[in-house]
Structure formats: C-alpha cells, structure tokens
Structure 1
Amino acid sequence: MKLTRIAPLGALVAASALILAGCASNEAAADGNTPSGDSSAAALSGTINGIGSSAQGTAQQTWIAGIQTANPDLNINYDPQGSGAGRKSFISGAADFAGSDAALSDDELAGSFAMCADGTKAIDLPVYISPIAIAYNLEGVDDLKLDAATIAGIFSGKITTWNDPQIAALNEGADLPDASITVVHRSDDSGTTQNFTEYLAANAADAWGQEPSQTFPFQVGDAAKGTSGVAEATKSAKNSITYIDESGAAGLSIAQLKVGDTFVKISADGAAAVVADSPLVEGRADGDLAIDIDRTDTQDGAWPLVLVSYLIACQQYQDADTASLVSSYIQYVASSEAQQAAAAQAGSAPLSAELSAQVIAAAQTIK
C-alpha cells in the first residue's frame, strides 16, 4: 500500500540544504553571485507557481515540503490540474513552470511562451518516472492477467463483460463473473492518457485503432478528472477498470501485464529499466531531455506501460528572479535525496545517477 503521509521533514530539510548549497555554488561559479546574495547559499526567497500533472501530485507535495522547510521565505505553489492544463497555463504565462506527463509537442514548441525571453523556447526536464497501473475493482479476482490487445479491447468498448473469452483465455482457472465491465477513463487532457495510448498504439495497433492522444478517444464508460478522480470513480463502481499512475492506485487491485511471453507484476524498477533503455527524442534544443520511450521493450521484468513526467521551464525567462528560483527548484527535485523521498511517498522510480546529472546540468543553464 502506498504511503500517504509526507516523509519526516528532518531528512528532507537536510537533503534540501545540501542540494541548495550545491545549486548556489554552481551559480556562483558562473556569475559570482548566489540567488540570495549570501555565501551560505541556503536561503531562497520569493514565489513561483506551477500547474500540471496530477500524477506528480504526491511527489510535488514531498519536494515542496522539503525545499520550503529549509527556506522559510520561499513559496512554491503547485496545482495538479492535469498535464494538458499545465502546459496550456505555462504557454500562456499563467504558471512559471508546468508539470506534464507528456513532453511538449513539436507544434507547441513552434509557438511562443509568454514567460520566456524573446527568441527562446521551453525545455522538458524529466523528474518523475512511474509505472501506469491497470487497476480494477472486481470482487473475487485478485490476480488478473491482461495483454495489450485485451486491454485495447476493453478500453475501446469491444470487450464488454468480464467473462469474455479473450479475458478468460489469459486467466485460466479464475472465477470471472458474467458482469458488464465499467471502464473509467480521464475526462481531462492527460499525459497519463497520452502514455497509455502510446503503449496501446505500439503493442496492439489493430485492436486499438487510434493514434496516441492526450484525450481519451472513445465514448465508453465513465469519465473522471485527474488521478484522484479516476481512482475514486473506480473504487466506487463494482466491476470497474481504469488506467492510473501507480501512486493513485492504493485500494485497488492491479493487473499483471503480458510483456513478451511473460506476465509481469507492476514495479517501479521495471518502469525505470524501460526508461534507461530509451533514447532522447531527436532534434530537440540543447537542454531539452524529452525521452522517446521504447514501448515494446521486453527485457526481463520490464514494465513498458510507463510514464515519464517532466518539469517544463523556459531556457531563458523574462524575469531573472523567476529563472533563479525555477532553476534551483529543479536542481533540488532532480537530486538523489529528493528523488528518494518522492519514491518513498509516491512509489516512483528515482532518476538514475546519469539522468539526474543531465537534468541538474540542464537546469543550471536556465537564466
């Protein structure tokens, strides 16, 4: 079961103090100044606002608690409205940074960003890796097994009962009821939906029949907003099923996923292994670390139904104070201490040492 409390603040305070000292040291090396003008470099002050991914919600609570406790004059607000809302708010200038389970699209990058200096763009920095669960509420079935084609059939509305022969063939001996399946999906534009549909398009294209999208493409079942919304809707409806960031799946059963010829149980390690095997998206600006996830990875234990969630920031802000705070916050978030704290609370996979170093280096270039 996932923990819902915030990790002990003492550990987070110590971690944030260490990373912030490192942030300021790096900035001092570049321009001779620290964000606060104090050589101790531990004190940040001011306010920045983020909007975005609800999957990041628990992690953001953890990160913000750590950095703000070490810096009482720092105020970071994060509103988990969803990835689509986060990107739109950042593009329009309503947020200083965005959390998104999908990187900026080519069309979005071709436009302008209200917070960014003229002639500069935004960059995608991965900070949160988590498996997406196929979570269900089905009495008497504790170890459901599904493959991509069957998941596609269920969520497209082609498979409508739990004892359908396609489900039964994967679950020999299970007592599957003759009951209608209630599909629960996101009502809002969602990076989780983007990752879910990318997985189905890559592994069950014929059964799914749709291009990847942040908008759920079928008029089937019940719709709910955000990670918490689909979790509550699934818990409230017998014989229901949803796709959800694992951090929100507490209290629900989680299906095993057929990967290659083997059924695999969900794990953060399996999600992290897929990300480690995946290249960066080609053609992006320096400092943009969008990842081209290999959805067909079949290595032992792999969980290719994975989301990589980003903090989206300007390469260069119009306001230097905002730039300094966003840069320091991202460097803290990508640190080993902050990543481990989020893993303890959200069940996410910490960034690898290599990816953490890349994100911190990219955040240091924000100005």
Structure 2
Amino acid sequence: MKISRLGAMASLALVGSIALTACGSDNTGGTDSASGAEGTASSSTSSDCFDGTLSAEGSSAQKNAFEEVASGFQSQCSGATVNYNPSGSGAGIKQFIAGQVDFAGSDSALKTVEKDGKIEAKEAEAACGSPAWNIPMVTGPIAVAYNVKGVDKLNLTPALAGDIFMGKITTWNDPKIAAANSGVQLPATAIKVFFRSDESGTTENFTKYLKAAAPENWPGEPAKTWDGKGEGKAKSAGVAEGVKSTDGGITYVEWSYAKDNDLGVAAIDNGSGPVELTSESVGKAIATAEQTGTGNDLALKLDYATKEAGAYPINLVTYEIVCSKGKDAEKQKNIKAFLKYFASEEAQKTIEEIGYAPLPAEVQTKVEAAIEAIS
C-alpha cells in the first residue's frame, strides 16, 4: 500500500463529511531542534521568515511530521529555529498552560468539561489572556501492532482487544483469539502488552475506541493515562521498540511507528468483517467524523464504534494548540509564520511522504483562515 493513497483517501473522506471551523492541540517547550536539515517545501517567502526561536512540546505521534516540517521551514529561514519536545500530549498541554512553551501539539483537543477540578480550555484561556484554539495539522491511524513469531496475519475484534489490553487473555493461542483467526497457527506464547507510560493523546484516542466499541470489555474511561495492564514505555518510540524486541508483544501506536519497526498490524473487525489498515479503510472511517469546535476552534469527534463496511476505526487527529491573541505580539507573529508554512500544500505533501495524512483542501482553507486570525 502507498502512503500517498492514505493521504488522498483521508482527505476525500474529511472533505465530504465535515465543514471544519477550528481544532485543538497541546504544546510545551521543546528541546529537540530540527534545524539544519533540508526540506522540500517551498511556500515560505522572506516576509514569512523570522529571526529567533520557537519552542513547542507535546504529541509524540506527530514528532516525525513536525520535525520534517521544521527542517523545511528552517532551510528557507536561516535565522529561525523551531524546537519540538515529543514529551506526550498531556505534558505538552501542561507546559503550554504553564507558559513554558510557545504552543503545544496534542492528539486530543483541549477539554471543555471539568476533570480533577479543572477545565483545560479555561486554564489555557487564562494563561493566554484569550481563548486557545485547537488547529488540526495531521491525521493518521493508530495501529494495533504486534510481534508474534510465525503469525503474519491477525484479526481482532473490539472485545478481543479490550480483553487483551486488560490482561484477561494472556496467551496467543487462547480459544477466543483462535475463533477470530481460523486457519492461523497461533503459538502458546505469552501475550506481553506494552502501553504508554507518559500522558498520551494516543492513549486517550485508543481508550476512546475501546470504550466506544467494547464497553463491556473495557470498563475504564478514556484518558491520557493508561488504565489497563502491561508494561509502560515512554512515548511512541518506546512502545514500538518494546514490541519489536519481544516475541508475543502487542501495543497501540501510530502507523508510521509500526511501519518503521516492521511490526505486524492487526485487522480490526468492528462488526462488518476484518478491516486491514489501508488508505481506503482510513478514509472511510474519517468520513464519519463530526465537528465539535466553533469559530476558529477546529475540534473533531471521531466515530470509533462505526460499523461502516471497510472502515478502519482507530484513528486520531493531531492539533497545534495556540493562543488566539498572545501577550507577546512578536512571538505570535512568528508562530503564525511557522504554522502558515505547516499548513501549506508543500509542507503537507512532505508529511504525506513519511506516513501521515495531509489536510484535505477544504479543511486546509479553514486552518489557514484560523492561523491568519492569530494575533
């Protein structure tokens, strides 16, 4: 399958199903600089460049995409440095609210309901002195990635996934798994679950899926912190490496990480037959998304329980979280310049080539309008 097809199908699906006006993300101060690398995008002009440093933090799911774009921007704007620390969505949002970074990256929009006595969106607004906006930049699927010697094809239902990640099914030849994988020789190897030990938007999206599609098998509530069983590993790279080095390993991780580590990816059966993770199947699932944000706040709600035939249901959207009106006008101008480049057709094409889905044209137009409104 070709990644470019993933981007095209996801884009078509989104364009045909939603009219976005704004979206969400998280950020924190970054430590990993992508400066000095060559980029392929060429939309920035000298008027968009700046001399100085931007720091962002958050989603490790978008790490590769962000660094690719930062490299392209910096290759054209030699006086600019854009750092990104892929500490996880939860950490990014906290750092953004604390004023430690210029913007955040998050796989979940800022929460508008109270949790633990706080409302993320309100906290961010107080920190900014203005509403914080969720601006979507990349979309992509979450793979249920595994490494089981001799097993090249695996089908899972939501119930099976819930039981595996809750530690109720502990060996790969369990009769329940065998029933969903007729003809597959499953070994008696112990199942080794790896989960994100850091607060993660990927964890939140995956648990949203389990809660929506298999509530009887996943009793916990969706959250950035893991509530199941297994061994914790830091960030997407950590869980992917854990599975890669462990016979019997399984995790939830962004598709690009599963591909980079040559992991098996399970087909998911939400009730209309097993669906492999492909460009077409991602596009069909994203077609069920609904807009929840208003104005220049572009948040989405995905239908994780969809039974649409041929739809791969476990997906996420990564947002950049920014102050709509910042306290530092010069900093806001620089953020606008970088995000304008990030949203450009050229930059979006570069991330498509490394395993992410670019913004569909109609959404891209609204994202560009939101970025232009930053002040």
2:109 counterpart SS class: coil
Q: In 1, distance between residues paired with 2:48 and 2:122?
A: 37
1:207 counterpart SS class: coil
Task: Find 2:320's aligned residue among 305, 311, 315.
Answer: 311
Task: Find 2:237's aligned residue among 228, 240, 248.
Answer: 228
Q: In 1, distance between residues paired with 2:124 and 2:137?
A: 24
The letter of the residue matching 1:263 is P
Cα offsets for 1:311-355 (capped at 9, x unmatched):
00001110011111111211211222111101111x111111111
| Structure 2 residue 365 is matched with structure 1 residue 357 | yes
How many residues align? The count is 335
Seq. identity, %: 41
Task: Find 1:336's aligned residue among 329, 345, 369.
Answer: 345
Task: Find 1:262's aligned residue among 273, 276, 294.
Answer: 273
| Structure 2 residue 260 is matched with structure 1 residue 252 | no
Q: How does 1:114-153 map to 2 (within 5 A)?
A: 116=128, 118=129, 120-153=130-163
1:131 Cα deviation after fit: 0.5
Q: State TM-score, norm by structure 1.
A: 0.87
Q: In 1, distance between residues paired with 2:356 and 2:297?
A: 22
Structure 2: 5+ residue stretches without partners: 4-33, 113-118
Query: Equivalent residue for 1:37?
Result: none
Q: In 1, distance between residues paired with 2:52 and 2:127?
A: 17
Q: In 2, distance between residues paired with 1:101 and 1:304?
A: 16
| Structure 2 residue 286 is matched with structure 1 residue 275 | yes
Query: Equivalent residue for 1:29?
Result: none
Q: In 2, distance between residues paired with 1:112 and 1:329?
A: 21
Native 8 Å contact 1:92 1:114 kept in 2: no
Task: Find 2:333's aligned residue among 319, 324, 341.
Answer: 324
Native 8 Å contact 1:131 1:268 kept in 2: no
Task: Find 1:108's aligned residue among 82, 97, 120.
Answer: 120
Q: How does 1:35-50 map to 2 (within 5 A)?
A: 41-50=47-56
Native 8 Å contact 2:213 2:304 kept in 1: yes
**What CA RMSD, in Å, does the superposition of the two structures yield over aligned residues?**
2.0
Query: Equivalent residue for 2:223?
Result: 213
For the pair shown, the structure with the greater C-alpha radius of gyration is 1
1:95 Cα deviation after fit: 0.6
1:245 Cα deviation after fit: 0.6
The letter of the residue matching 1:97 is F
1:115 Cα deviation after fit: 5.4
| Structure 2 residue 72 is matched with structure 1 residue 60 | no
1:277 Cα deviation after fit: 3.1
Q: In 2, distance between residues paired with 1:47 and 1:129?
A: 26
Query: Equivalent residue for 1:188?
Result: 198
Q: In 1, distance between residues paired with 2:344 and 2:95?
A: 26
Q: 1:42 to 1:94 in 2, by over 3 A?
A: closer
Native 8 Å contact 2:39 2:68 kept in 1: no
Q: 1:348 to 1:197 in 2, by over 3 A?
A: same
Q: How does 1:89-100 map to 2 (within 5 A)?
A: 89-100=95-106
The letter of the residue matching 2:154 is L
Q: In 2, distance between residues paired with 1:169 and 1:252?
A: 23
Q: 1:139 to 1:85 in 2, by over 3 A?
A: same
Native 8 Å contact 2:48 2:337 kept in 1: no
Q: In 1, distance between residues paired with 2:364 and 2:306?
A: 22
Q: 1:285 to 1:110 in 2, by over 3 A?
A: farther
Native 8 Å contact 2:272 2:308 kept in 1: no
Native 8 Å contact 1:129 1:271 kept in 2: no
Between the two structures, name the one with larger relative contact order (CA 8 Å, sep ≥ 6): 2
Cα offsets for 1:199-242 (capped at 9, x unmatched):
11111011111111111102x22110100000111111111100
| Structure 2 residue 57 is matched with structure 1 residue 51 | yes
Q: In 2, distance between residues paired with 1:203 and 1:292?
A: 15
Cα offsets for 1:146-186 (capped at 9, x unmatched):
11110001001111111111100110111101121111111
Q: In 1, distance between residues paired with 2:179 and 2:277?
A: 21
